[in-house]
Amino acid sequence: MARSANQKLKCLYLLQYLLENTDEEHPATIPQMIEYLARHDISAERKSLYNDIDGLRQWGLDVEYRKAQDGGYYVASREFQLPELKLLVDAVQSSKFLSLRKSSNLIAKLEKLASRYEAQALRRQVYVTHRVKNMNESVYYNVDALHSAIAADSRITFRYFDWDLSGKKKYRHEGKRYKVSPWALLWDDENYYLVGYDAETKERRHYRVDKMEAIAQTGEERLGKELFSDFDPAEYSRKVFGMYGGEPQQVTLQFAASPANLPNIVFDRFGRDQLLIPIPEGGFTVTVEVVPSPQFFAWLTGLGASVRILAPQSVAQQFQGHLQAVLLAYQ
């Protein structure tokens, strides 16, 4: 590019330099800016740079000047502060549904929102126990395709698969395409799920997004509006364990007096708005709305003798059957 053409880009190069190379701990001097611009065939003088910096301030860039022996100009505030970027990077690194490559790409983009010095603080490894990164990078694009279909009020078709013993895809319905009205995306137990309406069964159905393939909009208007007219994704997630389908029921649970963290476990699972009723012999009861399922029963089993189902009796009997089936497998 010719020198004269580059000269027109002086303010843009100056903006880039300040964003990438300065922060409160690393101000830049006018001579450093002149040297940087010269490397891009842009001539600059002190007075013109003062004017350019004033122009950037008027534009909205928060440029401060520190008077000191090692002082200079620096970007004082940004769209995201460093603690916020650290939170975002940690979330990306610990996310199971993102592949390692996609995580690295996203973190590299987040680093560009900080100075090069602050970016070094973002290059850290977050260790999360029992976390296995998804090897299926298509989930990233599946989420985008599903959001687009929901926004377009369009039904979708897709293929759905499981993994067989050899780690190969095994398509359900002999590879035939599912046809579903998509209504919401939920995040549950480290996985994305589509909550949709199945016109054949006239029910809500859940689909693991990372097991969906070849998603396509049909252009047909979605069905099942009556089931989703007052749909609250957060509330729904609290009722459904492991995204098992079914009708929610009111279930009353009785918890023992110990261990002392049992109230925390209830609040973490069902929300802080639950009413815990103390009982004279110690402990408490609580009535929650859940979908009785193997995952719900597994959660209860993990708490051992600290909890039991008081009502309804039908759910208590289902739980007994679940426990007996587990015991039978070891006899």
Structural domain boundaries of the chain?
3-75, 82-122, 138-229, 249-328
Cα 186 to chain centroid distance, Å, stands at: 10
The residue that leads in pLDDT, 273 or 48, is 48
Angle, alpha carbons 100-115-74 (nearest 5°): 170
Fold adopted by 249-328: Alpha-Beta Plaits (3.30.70)
Question: Looking at 291-326, which runs of residues are DSSP E strands?
Answer: 307-311
Q: Strands, DSSP E only, in the chain?
A: 63-66, 72-75, 154-163, 169-171, 178-188, 191-198, 203-208, 212-221, 249-255, 277-278, 284-290, 307-311
- DSSP letter string, 173-190: GGGPPEEEEEEEEEEETT
CA dihedral (199, 204, 209, 210) in degrees, to 10, reads: -90
Structure tokens at 42: 């842009």
Would you state the torsion angle of the CA atoms of residues 165, 166, 172, 177, taken in this order, to the nearest 10 degrees?
160
pLDDT beyond 80 at 165 = no
Q: What 8-state DSSP symbol labels residue 28? A: B
- Span 273-313, pLDDT tens digits: 889 999 998 999 999 989 898 889 999 999 999 999 999 99
Query: Mean pLDDT over all residues of the chain?
Result: 88
Average pLDDT over residues 221-236: 88
Work out the average pLDDT over 219-228: 94
Which CATH architecture group holds 3-75? Orthogonal Bundle (1.10)
End-to-end CA gap in the chain: 80
Q: Which amino acid is at 273?
A: D
Q: Is the dihedral of CA 309, 314, 319, 321 positive or negative?
A: positive
Instruction: Provide the pLDDT for residue 237.
Output: 75
Q: How confident is the model at residue 232 (pLDDT cuts 50, 70, 90)?
A: confident
- Decide if 151 contacts 185 (C-beta within 8 A): no
State the sign of the Cα–Cα–Cα–Cα dihedral 223, 228, 233, 239. Answer: negative
CA 129 to chain centre: 18
Which tokens go with 51? 């004017």
Q: Which two tokens stand for residue 89?
A: 């990077």
For 83, counting Cβ atoms within 10 Å of its Cβ (0-12 exposed, 13-18 middle, 19+ buried), the class is exposed
Q: What is the DSSP letter of 167?
A: S
The domain 138-229 is classified under which CATH number: 2.40.50, 1.20.1540, 3.30.70, 2.30.30?
Answer: 2.30.30
- Token pair 């029921």 is found at 249
Residues 6+ apart with CB under 8 A from 328: none
pTM of the predicted model as reported, rounded to 2 decimal places: 0.62
Which long-range contacts (C-beta less than 8 Å, at least 24 apart) are formed by 103-107? 103/133
Instruction: List pLDDT tens digits, range 112-136.
Output: 999 999 998 887 655 544 455 555 6
Q: In sequence order, which residues have a C-beta less than 8 Å from that of residue 284 and are 6 or more positions away?
A: 254, 255, 262, 263, 276, 277, 278
Residue 228 in tokens: 């989703």
Question: Mean pLDDT over residues 10-27, rounded?
Answer: 96
* pLDDT, tens digit, 9 for 90 and up, residues 252-270: 999 998 888 899 889 888 8
The pLDDT, as a whole number, for residue 124 is 66
The pLDDT value recorded for residue 125 is 54
What mean pLDDT comes out for the span 81-95?
A: 87
